[in-house]
Amino acid sequence: MTTTHTVPNRADVPVEHRWNAESVFATFSDWEASCAQVTRDLAQLAQLQGRLAEGATLLADALEQQASVSNRMEQVFLYAHMTYVMDTSDPQGSAMSARASGLSSEVSAGLSFIQPEMLAIGLPTLNEWLQTEPRLSHYAQAVTDLFRQQQFVRSAEVENIMGMIQDPFFSASNSYTVFTNSEMLFPPATASDGFSMEVTQGTIEAVKHHADRELRRSGWEGYADQYLAFKNTLANFYTTYIKQSLFDARVRGYGSTLEAALYRPNVPIAVYENLIETYRKHLPTWHRYWRIRRRALQVDTLHPYDIWAPLTDKVYDIPYEQAVDWICAGLAPLGEEYVAVSRKGMLEERWVDRYANKGKVNGAFSWGVQGTYPIISMNYENSLSELSTLAHELGHSMHSHLTWQTQPHVYANYSIFLAEIASNFNQALVRDHLLKTSTDPFLQIQLLEEAMENFHRYFFIMPTLSRFEYDVHQRVASGESATADDLNQIMTDYFKEGYGEEMHIDAPRIGMTWAQFPHLYENFYVFQYATGISAAHALAQRILDGDVATRDAYLEFLKSGTSRYPLDLLQDLGIDMTASAVVEAGFKVLEGHLDRLEQLVEAHLLA
């Protein structure tokens, strides 16, 4: 008999499984009141425009007001956008998100006079004021960074315009989000026995991990085919976004969108180049993995939809609460306080929006702002893979939590370059704990599958997307053709190189992979997954070896925010990302997992 797996509507999700929205604003009316307060605060701050040079006291007033209005705006935006992404089909959430985006643009424009006026005051005077006005003392790094970027800061008038265009410049990425999450409808995946599974952005990962090959094939192909059906629209969204980014880079005087993305956090372009070069050098490692996977699955030809297939038929049902217990046990080397805060966040304070519902945005992420909980959105499916995802996102959330508890608002974020370290670090610790404590060889195989899946995403998919991204940005910048077919061909060529002779190349469908990753709407973000996982494993191994000094330094690193440049923070931990050694070490970890997986496959699956 045919059965169907369906996804609930948002209204049917129990409150205890949803993110703690009321901890930000108790009611919609409270959110509206805060929107109005942002407008009033902005008007008050505007009275200081043109006056910052009058003295240290007035500058301190302006910066305090800037921090206050910025933080309130961040909370307004968080609440609105989280409401929207939890159900993109909800008109109220969509309206709130649009209103918050417009208000955010007004705030950017309204604050735009501050940096040009500080530059006009001059560094010697500002340094003197930092010494004499206590409320300015913690701004030393911010002032240093402002003058480092002085050549790219425009006049107050131009900065005001650049602030005002932020809202319309979100249109490409917003349109992409709306279209892919609420307008695109996917055919159900059907198994060989007639079982049918609904395919949405929230369930596609479960479809790809299903044991039934026919269900995986039909789900993966149907999902890709919907993207193919709208390839021209999706290409227009993406190239429009790149043109917007190129406009911003050229107005400010950057040589390229890559330079703009990396100059701001003070990351040399050589770090990007080293990563890509090291990745290409190790492509044979991936070819070896495809061979092991094909033999383990005992198929003649490996297809892309086999990449996530379980290698064993044993099913380990891991309820959410069990996942929390295992994660906390794995994180024990970081100390009791870190574990206690993590457990309370996952179970009591409702940091996690746990399960899929119709209209919920695909994927998992952690997001919040100072003064809120660090919220996690995911689609937990009682699997080892989702346990790992929860550990990953918890790493982001704890990084945010510790930064917010320690830093003033001006440093209360952390660089994107550092973002993927804490997340992958958590996964490494939890995985190590489970591998050491499990005597079940089939569970060990699944743990190594999870490790390889994680490396596949961050050490294969993300560098491949990064190479694609670089090429498309170059095409748009030079005025070359960048049609959907052009983008698909670039994507296909890179996957052919990565898959080698071990994978069937379904060119039209793998060519659309670029359209399935919203990460590309954050310029040159994706390569930093690979640098992050490399640094994470280097640090995790030292802490697992009992290096207490590294553990303590790592916890301080998590509290640092943007109070120092990212490469300097890593140097303090003995991590030099300007050289290739750390990424090389990451591939050594990957190869070690491959060795162990191959041994287990030979002994327990092919014997």
Instruction: Check residue 6 and give its pLDDT.
Output: 78
The answer to whether residue 302 sits within a structural domain is: yes
Residue 393 annotated in active site = yes
Q: What average pLDDT does this structure show over 50-63?
A: 97
DSSP for 505-574, please give it: --HHHHTTGGGG-GGGGSTT-THHHHHHHHHHHHHHHHHHTT-HHHHHHHHHHHT-TTSS-HHHHHHHTT
Q: Which of 393, 420, 450, 469 is catalytic?
A: 393
423 lies in the same domain as 327:
yes
| Residue at which a domain ends, from 120, 142, 169 | 169
The answer to whether residue 194 sits within a structural domain is: no
256 lies in the same domain as 139:
no
Predicted confidence (pLDDT) at residue 503 exceeds the cutoff of 50? yes
The answer to whether residue 208 sits within a structural domain is: no
Dist CA 466 CA 494 (whole Å): 10
Provide the percentage of residues in the chain whose pLDDT is more than 70: 99
The answer to whether residue 189 sits within a structural domain is: no
Q: What average pLDDT does this structure show over 537-552?
A: 95
Instruction: Check residue 416 and give its pLDDT.
Output: 87
Domain residues for the domain of 36 are 11-169
Most distant CA atoms of the chain, gap in Å: 81
Predicted confidence (pLDDT) at residue 447 exceeds the cutoff of 80? yes
pLDDT in tens, 17-40: 999 999 999 999 999 999 999 999
Q: What dihedral do alpha carbons 19, 24, 27, 33 form, nearest 10°?
A: -150
474 lies in the same domain as 596:
yes
Instruction: Check residue 315 and give its pLDDT.
Output: 87
273 lies in the same domain as 143:
no
- Using DSSP's 3-state secondary structure scheme, residue 4 falls into strand
pLDDT in tens, 561-603: 999 999 999 999 999 999 899 999 999 999 999 999 999 999 9
Position 5 confidence tier, pLDDT thresholds 50, 70, 90: low
Supply the angle between the helices 156-164 and 91-111 in degrees, to the nearest 10: 180
162 lies in the same domain as 271:
no
Position 63 confidence tier, pLDDT thresholds 50, 70, 90: very high
286 lies in the same domain as 157:
no
137 lies in the same domain as 273:
no
Q: What average pLDDT does this structure show over 446-458?
A: 94
What Cα–Cα distance (Å) separates residue 31 from each residue in 34, 36, 66, 135?
Answer: 5, 9, 20, 30
| Residue at which a domain ends, from 169, 190, 207 | 169
| Residue at which a domain ends, from 136, 169, 202 | 169
Q: What average pLDDT does this structure show over 476-485?
A: 96
Instruction: Report whether 403 contacts 412 (CB < 8 A).
Output: yes
How many domains in the chain?
A: 2
The answer to whether residue 216 sits within a structural domain is: no
338 lies in the same domain as 477:
yes
Q: Domain containing 130 — which CATH number?
A: 1.20.140.70
The answer to whether residue 314 sits within a structural domain is: yes
Q: Domain containing 276 — which CATH number?
A: 1.10.1370.20
Instruction: Check residue 1 and give its pLDDT.
Output: 39
Which residue is it, tokens 């008007």?
Answer: 43
The residue among 244, 227, 245, 308 whose CA lies nearest residue 491 is 227
Entry pTM: 0.88
252 lies in the same domain as 165:
no
Instruction: Check residue 7 and give its pLDDT.
Output: 86
Predicted confidence (pLDDT) at residue 361 exceeds the cutoff of 90? no
288 lies in the same domain as 387:
yes
300 lies in the same domain as 395:
yes
Instruction: Check residue 341 and give its pLDDT.
Output: 98
Instruction: Check residue 118 and give its pLDDT.
Output: 97
Instruction: Check residue 4 and give its pLDDT.
Output: 60
Dist CA 287 CA 269 (whole Å): 28
Position 534 confidence tier, pLDDT thresholds 50, 70, 90: very high
pLDDT in tens, 96-137: 999 999 999 999 999 999 999 999 999 999 999 999 999 999
Most confident of 68-77, 105-114, 165-174: 68-77
| Buried/exposed code over 13-36 (b: 16+ C-beta within 10 A; e: otherwise) | beeeebbbbeebbeeeeebeebbe
64 lies in the same domain as 160:
yes
Predicted confidence (pLDDT) at residue 211 exceeds the cutoff of 70? yes
The answer to whether residue 511 sits within a structural domain is: yes
pLDDT in tens, 378-422: 999 899 989 999 999 999 999 999 999 999 999 999 998 999 999
Instruction: Report whether 459 contacts 530 (CB < 8 A).
Output: yes
pLDDT in tens, 225-262: 999 999 999 999 999 999 999 999 999 999 999 999 99
The answer to whether residue 461 sits within a structural domain is: yes
Average pLDDT, the chain: 94
